[in-house]
Chains A and B, each alone.
Chain A
Amino acid sequence: MKIILPVLKAKDIVIHHTINLSERTIEKTEIANNFLTDIADVLLFIARFIKETFSRKFEIREFLYQCFKIGYKSLPLITVTGTIMGYVLTIQSRPVLVNFGAVTMLPGMVAISLIREMGPVITALICAGKIASGMGAELGSMKVTEQIEAMEVSSTHPMRYLVVPRVLAATLMIPLLVLYADALGIIGSWMGANLKGDVTLTLFFSQAFSHVIFIDLIPAIIKTFFFGAVIGLVGTYKGYNAGRGTESVGKAANSAVVLASLLVLIVDMIAVQITDMLVL
């Protein structure tokens, strides 16, 4: 008996661990499965989006309204953030440039970092917060209250009425907002430079743009279209696929922001890689 007891115990432990392990494996495969269906879902969503974009019945009114909502209504926010961005960047870079005796480079350096990176990415991140979450919440609540289904029975594919105008409007408006943020960033930078120096705005602008070449502008603008598309697609996808019950509206909005921000950064990384390869 005394010998058998530990053996039994050991057997118990082994069995316990095996069960535990297999349970965890099942859990893992489930997660993996869900992940795969999620990816399939996303691809289907994008395919439908493309198909509906080229359908004949384009909801032009809804598109214009969304442009107004995404573009015009974001102006105050982008004005503030754009200005602060340039201002802070200038104040922070100045001491470094002074150390190297290169203060004259300040406008050019700020302009380049604004146009290449800071403007697009920060604007896109802010828009991910404002626009993607708004779309997630709006479509999510429409889904929960059966409004999306109501559209469907009215023979209006919600994809056509809700998703296409929003995604296209975001794709078009984010680049404009980025350009606007860039311009305000340079003004903000001029304000920052004027704290410890005295340059007129026109002089500052010409100094800034003497360093900016075409190559800086084009890839930066191209990538903002992708940022816009990503923000629109993620926001609408999360809202459109919200679950049942009101708490899924919050979830949709929240995960829209997180995923959109993440994807903006990933797209940025890819874009930087590609430009790097093409230019060098």
Chain B
Amino acid sequence: MKTEKPELPDENAIAINTNDPIIEITKLCKSFGVQQVLKDISLKLFNGENLVVLGKSGSGKSVLIKCIVGLLKSDSGTIKVFHHNVTALTMKELGEVRQEIGFLFQSGALYDSMTVKENLEFPLIRLKANLTKKERDAKIEETLENVGLRDALYKMPSQLSGGMRKRISLARTIIIDPKIILYDEPTTGLDPVTSDEISILINDIQKKYKTSSIIITHDIECARATANRLIMLQNGQIYADGNIENYEKSTDNVIKSFFK
């Protein structure tokens, strides 16, 4: 991996611009009925950064990123993506913002009725309408190669294993070359080897395409490998914010329970 590139320390390879928040959330609240899931969340994702979000199951991590792309309507607060306030956009404008965002669903969300190829074509046809059929096919092949599943092209999702589905959905997420990628548990349910490959892939994408990402994960190995910064959600609030060293040195019980 490293041999092809000039030996650069990681800090040089990725340029995080802390003056330029690409996502800026202020005082976000979201509840379902009486259950308040997010309480006053404020956070920034800087340009070029990999932000890992940790938190117990049910702490509202998926809800948080669904609010960012406007799949869920927030109750109050603002969410700015590329300086557009997502909560106040029309459907059409929201569509334009979404073109720049890749979203990996926790469940994969592959279209059951379509082959792998059609699944990957779906966003390409609609979001990159200027590509010719040949360019599309090349892009699909390249992306499948990236996730290590070249032969799956004509398979149906039901014929794939859980890990393969995960990787195909990852392929579908990155195929549109988004500027922001929101990964909802990219390595859950994968074997350690594949998990590592996914972590490396996430880092490669970050460097190659200068993307900014939010990575939701329970997998501490993945967090270690990919995080530039981590935040921890607890009871709908941000419990901690810092880099990996801060967390590993921490004496706080809640944090320690994640990093044992």
Chain A contacts to B: CB under 8 angstroms: 138, 141-142, 145-147, 149-157
> Which partner residue on chain B sits nearest A152 by CB separation?
B71
Q: Which of A147, A149, A153, A156 lies in contact with B112, CB distance below 8 A?
A: A147
Interface stretch, picked from B22-30, B95-103, B217-225, B228-236, is B95-103
Q: Which residues of A contact B109 (CB under 8 A)?
A: 145-147, 149-150
Q: Chain A at the B interface: mostly helix, strand, loop or mixed?
A: helix
Please report the C-alpha to C-alpha distance between residue A141 and residue B157 in the assembled complex, in whole angstroms.
14
Say yes or no for B105: interface residue by CB 8 A criterion.
yes
Contact A156 B126 (CB under 8 A): yes
Contact B112 A141 (CB under 8 A): yes
Contact A147 B110 (CB under 8 A): yes
Candidate in B101, B106, B109, B111 with the most chain A CB atoms within 10 angstroms: B109
Chain B contacts to A: CB under 8 angstroms: 66, 69, 71, 91, 95-96, 98-99, 101, 103, 105-113, 122-123, 126-127
> Which partner residue on chain B sits nearest A153 by CB separation?
B103
Q: Which residues of B contact A153 (CB under 8 A)?
A: 69, 71, 98, 101, 103
Q: Which residues of A contact B103 (CB under 8 A)?
A: 150, 153
Contact A155 B98 (CB under 8 A): yes
A60–chain B nearest beta-carbon distance, Å: 13
Q: Which residues of A contact B123 (CB under 8 A)?
A: 154
Contact B105 A154 (CB under 8 A): no
A161–chain B nearest beta-carbon distance, Å: 9
Contact A156 B122 (CB under 8 A): yes
B120–chain A nearest beta-carbon distance, Å: 11
Q: In the complex where A149-B71, A149-B105 touch, is A154 in contact with B110 (Cβ < 8 A)? A: no
Please report the C-alpha to C-alpha distance between residue A142 and residue B157 in the assembled complex, in whole angstroms.
13
> Which partner residue on chain B sits nearest A57 by CB separation?
B126
Q: In the complex where A141-B112, A149-B109 touch, is A155 in contact with B126 (Cβ < 8 A)? A: yes
A123–chain B nearest beta-carbon distance, Å: 26
Please report the C-alpha to C-alpha distance between residue A153 and residue B108 in the assembled complex, in whole angstroms.
13
Please report the C-alpha to C-alpha distance between residue A149 and residue B126 in the assembled complex, in whole angstroms.
15
Please report the C-alpha to C-alpha distance between residue A150 and residue B66 in the assembled complex, in whole angstroms.
11
Q: Which residues of B contact A147 (CB under 8 A)?
A: 109-112
A119–chain B nearest beta-carbon distance, Å: 32
Not counting A146-B105, A149-B105, A155-B99, a sample of 16 additional A-B residue pairs whose C-beta atoms are within 8 angstroms of each other reads A138-B113, A141-B112, A145-B108, A146-B106, A147-B112, A151-B111, A152-B71, A152-B98, A153-B71, A153-B101, A153-B103, A154-B98, A154-B123, A155-B96, A155-B126, A157-B91
B8–chain A nearest beta-carbon distance, Å: 34
A270–chain B nearest beta-carbon distance, Å: 34
B93–chain A nearest beta-carbon distance, Å: 11
Q: Which residues of B contact A141 (CB under 8 A)?
A: 112
22 A-B pairs (CB sep. < 8 Å): A141-B112, A142-B111, A145-B108, A145-B109, A146-B105, A146-B107, A146-B109, A147-B109, A149-B105, A149-B109, A150-B103, A150-B109, A151-B122, A152-B71, A153-B103, A155-B95, A155-B99, A155-B126, A155-B127, A156-B122, A156-B126, A157-B91
Q: Which residues of B contact A156 (CB under 8 A)?
A: 122, 126
B175–chain A nearest beta-carbon distance, Å: 10
Q: Which residues of B contact A154 (CB under 8 A)?
A: 98, 122-123, 126-127
Q: Which residues of B contact A146 (CB under 8 A)?
A: 105-107, 109
B177–chain A nearest beta-carbon distance, Å: 14
A80–chain B nearest beta-carbon distance, Å: 27
Please report the C-alpha to C-alpha distance between residue A155 and residue B112 in the assembled complex, in whole angstroms.
19
Q: Which residues of A contact B110 (CB under 8 A)?
A: 147
Please report the C-alpha to C-alpha distance between residue A53 and residue B154 in the assembled complex, in whole angstroms.
31
> Which partner residue on chain B sits nearest A154 by CB separation?
B123
Please report the C-alpha to C-alpha distance between residue A243 and residue B127 in the assembled complex, in whole angstroms.
29
Candidate in A141, A149, A152, A155 with the most chain B CB atoms within 10 angstroms: A155
Please report the C-alpha to C-alpha distance between residue A221 and residue B95 in the assembled complex, in whole angstroms.
40
> Which partner residue on chain B sits nearest A156 by CB separation?
B126
Q: Which residues of A contact B112 (CB under 8 A)?
A: 141-142, 145, 147
Q: Which residues of A contact B91 (CB under 8 A)?
A: 157
Please report the C-alpha to C-alpha distance between residue A153 and residue B144 in the assembled complex, in whole angstroms.
21
Please report the C-alpha to C-alpha distance between residue A226 and residue B110 in the assembled complex, in whole angstroms.
34
> Which partner residue on chain B sits nearest A146 by CB separation?
B109
A235–chain B nearest beta-carbon distance, Å: 16
> Which partner residue on chain B sits nearest A148 by CB separation?
B109
Please report the C-alpha to C-alpha distance between residue A57 and residue B187 in the assembled complex, in whole angstroms.
36
A105–chain B nearest beta-carbon distance, Å: 50
Please report the C-alpha to C-alpha distance between residue A142 and residue B110 in the assembled complex, in whole angstroms.
9
B185–chain A nearest beta-carbon distance, Å: 13
Q: Which residues of B contact A142 (CB under 8 A)?
A: 111-112
A157–chain B nearest beta-carbon distance, Å: 7
